[in-house]
Structures are given as structure tokens and as C-alpha cells.
């Protein structure tokens, strides 16, 4: 009888992408309990959690909503999301008590003096009521996503009130330092200002979330404005009602919106806890993180081209100055020898020094072209505005290819020589100082030639063909080949990504594990396969972990790659990302030291296991630092 092959040592446990992402948001919520974080920073994580949950129901849930509604796995998602929401409500009440010690008070209207009530009554009448919509119940199917509503009536549901989004959710109480009152609570107090006939009736809070998708995912610049107009016409995926909401009205709204009972959460008011960010902004500096000491690369900003003629430069943001990236672009504008600039721009925000430098360069007569990604979800309108600014200044905005361009590259041609910046993060001045990302500046010919070829292909609406770097599905091919080469007892692999959900890559990792390779995973958010006995780490701390890195031992001669791509089918099959090798020996050592520090971290870590998560806090090894 032939021998049976040995049973695999590492048996997989599979999670859906949505379930894994919700567990990530639970890790965000857990940061509100960090004993080593200042109070306001812990409160900030409550606001981040709330915004993340809205993103879950507007974007992350879309596949499961379309394909799995009513299934046990879908109901498990609803149960986890509701459990988090209920826990967040309890944490909010705990924070209210803790804030008193800082002299910060979120007051109820009953705690206001007579004069303060009179003031806010006038404020509501003058500033809020004219902007507030009174809506008939027949219009329930047309209600807007993420707006805050109140329901009212005598017996039957008769009136819906939509609070204006232009008025802050949290208002300072004049004359009371550290005193605030919620807009919603004030509106409840003076419902007569918002209901017909000056009726004074109880108000009940609710809000809903719709799936947010562009009607045309491949819209080019001339189609984008119309596509944006229909973005929030998606189906309602979620409804939140305050816990005392009248049952008959609740059922009326649920049926009108086409939701199933598990998709409706009844929670203690206030709903949408993201407003606590206002308290964070007003609180004392002593309850915030102390500023980090940011290191600046010596000699680079004054003469980046001379520097890169001698050696590469690799920076680890935010611990090393993101301003060096902006200075690189600015020096290219000022240098009369610079002839051409190219850039990929994805999420760049409303004000952006690099984008402004590109405009100045075009006005100075330099050849400037950008691939501005008009389909960057939730940033489309800002990028549409930038497209007009670029066009008006003479910057060529390249046509959008069929695949999204998520690559992060800045190219400069100067006196016949070529220089590039390659990154793992967006060219965004805020995120560049908050996210941990890698920046590589280089004049290495094989890399600069590939970046030039990348832009030339996009300009001619062709698929990029690169020799050393990788883009699109070729990134998967590279990783599969590299993982398979380590599938032996002396093999070693380190992967650090935000998301790892690609089935072929996960399968290759499993095969490598069962052949004896050591596999180290640092996955911030979503991971859809776990193995008993494999330590998978998620770092959630002060800074958002954002760098994407892959390292392979390669018989003791480590090969290290970094880039813009997370390991998801959409990133590898439907986007043009850029994955680049770290060729400089010093830069490679630096990346490996960062990875080893994060593998050793016991201050910001969660160990992801098939049966749950384990916190590793309170230790001395902080992986969110340089050196």
C-alpha cells in the first residue's frame, strides 16, 4: 500500500474580508482603553472608530450586502457591529465622567441656566431653524446618508426633521470655559421651533447609511461630475435608532428603507459619536501626545540631485521629515536644469505643496504631466477641483486608464539625468505626517527607467511594461515566485501590509509553512486566513501603520521590496500599483531593522489567532519609532 502523504502541519481558518475588517475596527475601539495613552488621544480613537463603522456600512459591506444578506455569516457581521456600537456607547459615558477632571463638560439642556437656555433658543431660531428641513414621512425612501434626523408626531409618525450638517454637532456654552452642549439635545429642548404650528412634541433621533458607489466606476474626467451627483443614491444598508424610538415608527421606517431587522441598531443617544473629535480639538495639550522629534536628512533639501548622484535616500515617515518629499518637488521647480516632471496623485487633500510645485513648474515652462486619479473613493470631488487647477496652469492631466492608478511616484528629468521618489503612502501633507510610510529617493538607472516607462505608457493609454519594478498582476507573480523560493526549512518571509486577502498568495504562504519556512506577518487591518501556531501581528498605536513591505531571506541575502499595493485581488488585478526593490544596501538594512522592531513590539500589538485576538501592551519594545 502506498504511504499516505503527511497531514499538513498548518491548517487554515478562513474569515471573510468583512469580518476581518470589523475585527480591525474592534482593535481601534480597544485603543480607547490604552493606559499609556493620554485621555484625549484615547477619546480620539472613539471618533475614529465611529467614522470607520460608517465606512464599513457605506463601502466595506457592499459585497456581503449584495450576496449574503440573511446568511449566518452576514448575521454574525451585524451582531459584531452592534456589539461594538453598544460598547462604544458605554465608553462614551465613561469618557464624559473622565473629562470632568480636565474641566470639560458636555452638558444637558437641563443643566443650563435660564439665561443660557434663552441664548440657545435665539441661536436655534436664528442660525439653525432656517437651515433645517421638515420632511413628510412619505419621503422616507429619499433620506440622505449619514445625516442626523429626528422623528415626531402625535400617535402616528408625522414629521421628520433633518439637522443641518453645516452647524457643529457640539456647541460651546458662552461664558462657561470648557462647557459644551449637543445641538441635538438643544433641538429636542425647543422642538417647537422646528415643528409646524409651534407644537412641542418629543423628538426621537435616527440616522441611516447608504452604499456609496459611483454610478460609472470607469468614469473619465468629463463624466466624473455626473457620476458624483448620483453617488449617494445607493441602497440603504444600515439604520440606527435611539433606544426609546417608538416601535411602530421604527417598523415603518425599516420597511420603507427595505432593511431586515438585524440591519437596524437601537442605541442610546447620541448617535454618531464622531462628534467627540470636537472635544479632542478643544482639550488641554497636556492630555495629548507629546510631539515627536522629527529627523531631517542632512544635506538633502539643499541639493537633492547632487545627493542622489552619490547614493539613495530612504526615509521612514513620520519619524523622518515628510517635508523632504515636498522640498524635492520644490527644488525641481527652482532648478533651471530641470526639464520635466511627472507625478501620480491619489489622495492629496485640499491644500498640497507638491501639487502647487507642479503648477509652478508648468507656469515656468517645464514639461509637467500628472496622473490624477479621479476615482479615489470619497476624494473624487477634491481631485476634480485639482484637475481644473492643473489644466488652468498648463499641467497635462493624463486620461484615466481602465484601471485605477494607485501608484506613488514622482519623476524628475534634469539635464539628461533622471531622479524619482517612490513611496508607500499618498502625497498628502497631513497623512504624510501621521502615517508610517517609506519614501525612497533614487537615481538608480533601472528604477528611473521603469518610472519613465510607467508614465509614458499611461500617457499613451497602454499597459505599462516594466523591467525591474512590478505593476498590476505582475506584483502577484513576483510575490508567488519569491514565496515559493522560500518554501523550505531554511526559508524565511516577512510581509507587512494593511490588507492580505489574495487567495493565491495566501495559498502559497500556507504551502511554504507546511514545507518548513518561517513566515512572519504584520497585517494592520484585514487578513482572511489564519493558522494555529503562526504568530500574526497587527500593530495599532499612535500612528497609522501604512507601509507595504515584503522581505525574503534568499539564502541569507535578503531581498526587500516595498510599494503602494496591498495584497488584495482588486489592488493586483484592477489597479496600477508600483512595487519596487530596495537596491541600496544601507536602505535595505534600515527596512529590515524596522521590520524586526515591529515583530518584537509588545506595546502596540495584537496577536491574531484563529479563535480571537490577544493584546500585547505595556512592554518596553515600541515598534512605532525609529531606531
Helix (H, G, I), strand (E, B) or coil at 610: coil
411, 418 contact by CB (below 8 A): yes
Q: How far apart are CA 484 and CA 43, in angstroms?
A: 44
Please name which of 356, 309, 351 lies closest in space to residue 330, comparing C-alpha atoms. Answer: 356
Query: Residue 583: what are its φ and ψ, rounded to 5°?
Result: -90, -30
Which of 612, 435, 597, 608 has its CA nearest to residue 527? 608
The grid cell for 396 is: 497635462
Q: Please answer whether residues 149 and 161 qualify as being in contact, where contact means their C-beta atoms are separated by less than 8 angstroms.
A: yes
Contact 227, 219 (CB under 8 A): yes
Judge whether 406 counts as a catalytic residue.
yes
Angle at 295 between CA 290 and CA 296, to 5 degrees: 140
Nearest to 191, CA basis, from 233, 158, 147? 158
Q: Which residues contact 481 (CB under 8 A, 6 or more apart)?
A: none
198 phi-psi bin (left φ>0, alpha ψ -120 to 50, beta other):
left
Tell me the Ramachandran region of residue 416: left when phi exceeds 0, alpha when psi lies from -120 to 50, beta otherwise: left
Round to whole Å and give the CA distance between 55 and 209: 9
For 6, 9, 454, 511, 616, the CA distances from 3, given in Å and listed in that order, are 9, 17, 52, 20, 43
* Residues near 4 by beta carbon (within 8 Å), at least 6 away in sequence: none
Q: Is the peptide bond before 318 cis (omega within 30 degrees of 0)?
A: yes
The vertex-84 CA angle with 81 and 90, nearest 5°, equals 145
CB 223 within 8 A of CB 230: no
C-alpha cell at 415: 539635464
Whats the size of the chain, residue-wise? 627
State phi, psi for 470 to the nearest 5 degrees.
-130, 145
User: What distances in angstroms separate CA 105 from CA 39, 112, 171, 624, one per listed residue?
Assistant: 14, 12, 11, 33
Task: Decide: 232 and 146 in contact? Cβ < 8 Å.
Answer: no
Catalytic one of 317, 406, 421, 444:
406
Residues contacting 617, CB < 8 A, separation 6+? 34, 35, 36, 602, 603, 604, 605
Counting Cβ atoms within 10 Å, is residue 334 exposed (0-12), middle (13-18) or buried (19+)?
A: exposed
What DSSP letter does each residue of 7-47 carry, written as one string?
A: PPS--EEE--HHHHHHHHHHHHHHGGG-TTS-HHHHHHHHH
Q: Which residues are part of the catalytic machinery? A: 406
Amino acid at each position: 500500500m502506498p504511504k499516505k502523504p503527511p497531514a499538513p502541519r498548518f491548517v487554515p481558518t478562513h474569515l471573510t474580508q468583512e469580518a476581518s475588517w470589523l475585527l480591525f475596527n474592534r482593535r481601534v475601539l480597544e485603543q480607547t482603553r490604552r493606559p499609556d495613552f493620554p485621555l484625549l488621544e484615547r477619546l480620539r480613537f472613539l471618533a475614529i472608530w465611529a467614522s470607520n463603522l460608517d465606512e464599513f456600512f457605506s463601502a466595506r459591506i457592499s459585497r456581503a450586502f449584495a450576496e449574503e444578506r440573511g446568511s449566518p455569516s452576514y448575521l454574525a457581521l451585524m451582531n459584531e457591529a452592534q456589539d461594538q456600537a453598544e460598547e462604544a456607547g458605554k465608553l462614551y459615558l465613561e469618557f464624559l465622567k473622565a473629562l470632568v477632571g480636565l474641566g470639560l463638560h458636555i452638558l444637558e439642556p437641563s443643566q443650563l441656566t435660564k439665561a443660557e437656555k434663552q441664548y440657545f433658543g435665539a441661536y436655534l431660531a436664528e442660525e439653525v431653524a432656517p437651515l433645517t428641513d421638515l420632511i413628510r414621512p412619505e419621503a422616507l425612501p429619499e433620506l440622505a446618508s449619514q445625516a442626523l434626523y429626528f422623528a415626531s408626531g402625535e400617535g402616528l409618525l408625522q414629521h421628520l426633521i433633518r439637522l443641518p450638517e453645516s452647524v457643529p454637532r457640539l456647541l460651546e456654552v458662552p461664558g462657561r470655559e470648557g462647557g459644551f452642549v449637543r445641538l441635538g439635545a438643544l433641538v429636542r429642548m425647543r422642538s417647537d421651533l422646528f415643528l409646524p404650528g409651534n407644537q412641542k412634541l418629543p423628538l426621537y433621533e435616527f440616522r441611516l447609511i447608504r452604499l456609496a458607489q459611483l454610478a460609472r466606476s470607469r468614469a473619465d474626467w468629463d463624466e466624473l461630475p455626473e457620476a458624483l451627483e448620483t453617488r449617494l443614491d445607493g441602497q440603504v444598508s444600515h439604520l440606527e435608532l435611539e433606544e426609546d424610538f417608538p416601535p411602530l415608527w421604527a417598523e415603518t421606517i425599516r420597511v420603507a428603507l427595505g432593511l431586515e431587522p438585524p440591519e437596524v441598531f437601537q442605541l442610546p443617544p447620541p448617535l454618531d459619536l464622531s462628534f467627540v473629535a470636537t472635544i479632542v480639538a478643544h482639550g488641554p495639550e497636556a492630555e495629548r501626545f507629546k510631539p515627536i522629534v522629527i529627523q531631517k536628512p542632512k544635506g538633502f533639501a539643499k541639493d537633492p540631485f547632487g545627493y542622489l548622484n552619490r547614493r539613495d535616500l530612504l526615509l521612514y515617515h513620520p519619524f523622518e521629515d515628510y517635508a523632504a518629499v515636498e522640498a524635492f518637488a520644490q527644488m525641481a521647480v527652482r532648478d533651471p536644469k530641470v526639464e520635466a516632471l511627472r507625478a501620480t496623485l491619489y489622495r492629496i487633500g485640499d491644500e498640497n505643496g507638491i501639487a502647487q510645485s507642479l503648477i509652478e513648474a508648468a507656469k515656468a515652462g517645464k514639461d509637467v504631466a500628472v496622473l490624477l486619479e479621479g476615482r479615489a473613493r470619497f476624494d473624487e470631488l477634491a481631485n476634480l477641483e485639482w484637475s481644473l487647477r492643473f489644466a488652468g496652469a498648463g499641467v497635462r492631466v493624463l486620461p484615466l486608464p481602465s484601471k485605477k492608478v494607485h501608484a506613488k511616484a514622482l519623476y524628475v528629468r534634469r539635464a539628461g539625468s533622471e531622479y524619482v521618489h517612490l513611496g508607500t503612502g499618498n502625497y498628502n501633507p497631513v497623512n504624510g505626517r501621521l502615517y508610517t510610510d517609506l519614501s525612497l529617493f533614487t537615481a538608480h538607472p533601472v528604477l528611473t527607467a521603469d518610472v519613465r516607462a510607467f508614465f509614458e505608457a499611461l500617457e499613451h493609454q497602454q499597459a505599462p511594461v516594466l523591467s525591474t519594478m512590478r505593476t498590476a498582476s505582475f506584483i502577484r507573480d513576483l510575490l508567488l515566485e519569491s514565496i515559493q523560493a522560500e518554501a523550505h526549512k531554511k526559508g524565511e518571509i516577512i510581509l507587512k501590509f494593511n490588507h492580505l486577502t489574495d487567495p493565491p498568495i495566501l495559498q502559497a504562504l500556507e504551502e511554504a509553512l507546511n514545507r518548513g519556512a518561517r513566515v512572519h506577518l504584520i497585517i494592520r487591518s484585514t487578513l482572511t486566513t489564519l493558522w494555529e501556531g503562526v504568530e500574526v501581528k497587527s500593530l495599532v498605536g499612535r500612528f497609522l501603520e501604512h507601509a507595504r513591505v515584503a522581505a525574503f531571506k534568499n539564502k541569507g541575502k535578503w531581498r526587500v521590496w516595498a510599494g503602494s499595493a496591498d495584497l488584495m485581488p482588486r489592488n493586483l488585478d484592477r489597479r496600477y500599483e508600483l512595487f519596487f526593490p530596495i537596491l541600496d544596501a544601507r536602505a535595505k538594512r534600515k527596512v529590515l531593522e524596522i521590520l524586526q522592531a515591529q515583530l518584537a513590539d509588545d506595546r502596540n500589538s495584537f496577536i491574531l489567532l484563529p479563535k480571537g485576538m490577544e493584546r500585547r501592551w505595556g512592554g518596553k519594545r515600541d515598534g512605532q519609532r525609529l531606531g
